[in-house]
């Protein structure tokens, strides 16, 4: 009798799930086509450990717009750069998935990455404006970057000839650059005791990558069932540690009256809070303080990982492609002089087209954010014969667009900087399908800073050093580690000082 009741309960439960599933599927018939999902799991079981390949295969099967289910959530995936530009330029697609506790824990609806509506517009406009103003003021940002470039070159010089691990090789210098821009402070990132800003900022992306790999982002209920295994506990702890440091830093700047004579981003922001009288503004009093903390978090989460990971990918590619490396060095020597004679400047960039093309090809092959930041539809929309409902999540398959042979040719998987140059190799070609920082109204506002950082670091390094593979592992594995950020597998390279 007991077993009969249990069986009846299980049958009833299964029937209920089936009813919900098929009822929901019927209502969703106007969605773009896509793979058939399972109840509860959606298509997660089909994504497996190689989501990049799965999303590319679905694009071939279902076309440039398709729907997948991440758990119980619908996700509309765009795989064509022209369609993506059109959609992401429309205000209807500028929402954020603020219901997801993983992202919500980071900055809720404050700052830039997670904010929507007037808050997003105000915070983005102010941040872009101040970073631009600081960069134009005696090229102060370039000076900060080059200070860290010099420190990195000294570290590489001390270790010349030794196999060095790429693991966090560039994090210290890149994080310190951001730290100088936002706070005016500088840490000794290569000291024996790791500075707090480097430690806490460096923990953010590995922690959020962990919650991505466990599926917590797509199944938030796991935080209640297996908080440690899912990475939820670690993510909250690492995030709290970082935000605590931001609180202390902001308090020190407030106490020292930095807004009276602003020298850095925090000072400028505090000055804006101090003069804001509109209670509806995102800069007003305590609301302004929360947004400042969120913007700082956004800058470190996005900016530090993008540049340091792209530099690591560059070392991997050029250590394997010595022909491209020598061509770039020949160009650098022609413009900068003998190896080590001077550091590059952003003003040198037009004279170094192949060097810039190398950076662009690395960002094409290995975009650090392969799916960007998810958008959410703010209203229903008919789009190229498909229904995109209000509340639906939209992903940009940046990796798929960057690896589309119909756009880039049959050699799409090859490292080929020349694809960004004109026929005689004298000028850089800007290609519409090149979107490593996304596209449209919510494209990354830190793109100019990231590109300047990448250019100045890689041109300085390769002007001073030959970069060669580890003698114990001459053949590289370019298969990426996929998470929120696309990172290379652990590898080592050798930096040998150039003499000619």
CATH classification of the domain holding 393:
1.10.630.10
406 lies in some domain: yes
364 occurs within a structural domain: yes
CA-CA-CA-CA dihedral for 178, 182, 188, 193, to nearest 10: -90
Residue 266 lies in a domain: yes
Rounded to whole angstroms, how far apart are CA atoms 332 and 464? 10
Comparing CA positions, the residue from 402, 380, 405 lying closest to residue 391 is 380
Q: Does residue 4 fall inside a structural domain? A: no
pTM: 0.89
* Binding residue numbers: 444
Q: Note down pLDDT in tens along the chain; length 500 residues.
A: 443 544 544 455 555 545 545 444 444 567 899 999 888 788 888 887 788 999 999 999 999 999 998 877 789 999 999 999 999 999 999 999 877 788 777 777 889 988 998 999 999 999 988 888 776 544 678 888 999 999 999 999 999 999 999 877 888 888 888 898 889 888 888 777 888 888 888 888 888 888 887 878 777 888 899 999 999 999 999 999 999 999 999 999 988 876 678 888 999 999 999 999 999 999 999 999 999 999 998 888 887 778 899 999 999 999 999 999 999 999 999 999 999 899 999 999 999 999 999 999 999 999 999 999 899 999 999 999 999 999 999 999 999 999 999 999 999 999 999 999 999 999 999 999 999 999 999 998 888 888 999 999 999 999 999 999 999 888 889 999 887 889 999 999 999 999 86
Closest CA to 375 of 35, 72, 34, 116: 116
Contact 56, 30 (CB under 8 A): no
The total of structural domains in the chain comes to: 1
Annotated binding site for heme: 444
Domain of 418 in residue numbering reads as 50-497
172 assigned to some structural domain? yes
pLDDT at site 136 = 52
Residue 3: the pLDDT is 39
Strands (E), 162-292: 163-165
Question: What's the pLDDT at 139?
Answer: 61
Q: Is 405 within a domain? A: yes
Contact 407, 401 (CB under 8 A): yes
Determine, yes or no, domain membership for 27.
no
What phi-psi label fits residue 204: left (phi over 0), alpha (psi between -120 and 50 degrees) or beta?
Answer: alpha
- Gap between the Cα atoms of 459 and 208, Å rounded: 31
Chain centre distance of CA 338 = 35
303 in Cβ contact with 201 (< 8 Å): no
Phi first, then psi: give them for residue 395, nearest 5 degrees. -110, 140
pLDDT at 443: 92
Which residues fall within 8 angstroms of residue 238, CB to CB, at 6 or more apart?
200, 203, 204, 207
Please give the Cα distance from 7 to 463 (Å, whole number): 72
User: DSSP states of 137-193 as a string?
Assistant: STTHHHHHHHHHHHHHHHHHHHTTTSEEE-TTTTHHHHHHHHHHHHHS----TTSSS
For 416, the token pair is: 């080929």
Q: Quote the CA–CA distance of 262 and 270 in Å, as a whole number.
A: 9
d(CA 226, CA 7): 28
Q: What is the dihedral of CA 73, 79, 80, 83, to 10 degrees?
A: 0
Contacts of 113 (CB under 8 A, 6+ apart): 96, 103, 106, 107, 298, 301, 302, 373
């Amino acid at each position: 009798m007991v077993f009969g009741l249990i069986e009846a309960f299980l049958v009833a439960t299964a029937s209920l799930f089936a009813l919900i599933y098929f009822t929901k599927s019927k209502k969703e018939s106007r969605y773009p086509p896509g793979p058939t999902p399972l109840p509860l799991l959606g298509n997660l079981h089909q994504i497996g450990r190689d989501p990049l390949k799965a999303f590319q295969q679905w694009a071939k099967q279902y076309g440039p717009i398709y729907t997948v289910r991440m758990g119980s959530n619908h996700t509309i995936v765009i795989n064509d750069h022209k369609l993506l530009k059109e959609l992401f330029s429309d205000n209807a697609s500028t929402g954020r998935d603020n219901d997801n506790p993983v992202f919500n824990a980071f900055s809720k609806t404050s700052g830039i990455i997670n904010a929507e509506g007037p808050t997003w517009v105000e915070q983005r406009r102010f941040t872009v404006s101040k970073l631009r103003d600081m960069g134009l003021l005696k090229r102060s940002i370039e000076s900060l970057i080059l200070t860290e470039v010099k420190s990195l070159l000294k570290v590489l010089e001390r270790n010349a000839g030794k196999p060095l691990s790429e693991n966090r090789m560039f994090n210290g210098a890149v994080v310190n650059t951001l730290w100088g821009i936002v706070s005016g402070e500088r840490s000794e990132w290569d000291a024996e005791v790791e500075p707090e800003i480097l430690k806490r900022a460096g923990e953010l992306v590995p922690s959020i990558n962990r919650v991505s790999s466990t599926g917590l982002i797509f199944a938030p209920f796991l935080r209640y069932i297996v908080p440690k295994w899912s990475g939820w506990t670690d993510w909250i702890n690492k995030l709290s540690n970082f935000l605590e440091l931001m609180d202390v830093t902001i308090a020190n700047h407030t106490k020292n009256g930095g807004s009276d004579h602003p020298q850095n981003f925090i000072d400028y922001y505090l000055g804006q809070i101090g003069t804001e009288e509109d209670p509806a503004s995102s800069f007003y009093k305590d609301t302004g303080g929360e947004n400042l903390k969120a913007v700082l978090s956004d800058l470190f989460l996005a900016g530090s990982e993008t540049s340091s990971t792209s530099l690591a990918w560059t070392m991997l590619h050029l250590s394997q492609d010595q022909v491209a490396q020598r061509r770039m060095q020949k160009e650098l020597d022609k413009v900068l002089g003998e190896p080590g004679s001077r550091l590059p400047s952003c003003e040198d960039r037009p004279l170094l087209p192949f060097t810039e093309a190398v950076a662009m090809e690395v960002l094409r092959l290995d975009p650090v954010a392969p799916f960007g930041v998810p958008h959410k539809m703010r209203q229903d929309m008919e789009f190229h014969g498909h229904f995109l409902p209000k509340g639906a999540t939209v992903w940009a398959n940046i990796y798929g667009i960057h690896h589309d042979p119909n756009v880039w040719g049959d050699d799409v998987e090859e490292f080929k900087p020349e694809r960004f140059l004109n026929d005689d190799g004298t000028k850089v070609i800007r290609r519409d399908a090149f979107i490593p920082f996304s596209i449209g109204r919510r494209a990354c506002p830190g793109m100019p800073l990231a590109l300047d950082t990448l250019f100045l670091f890689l041109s300085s390094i390769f002007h001073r050093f030959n970069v060669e593979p580890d003698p114990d592992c001459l053949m590289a594995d370019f298969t990426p580690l996929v998470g929120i950020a696309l990172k290379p597998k652990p590898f080592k390279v050798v930096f040998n000082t150039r003499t000619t």
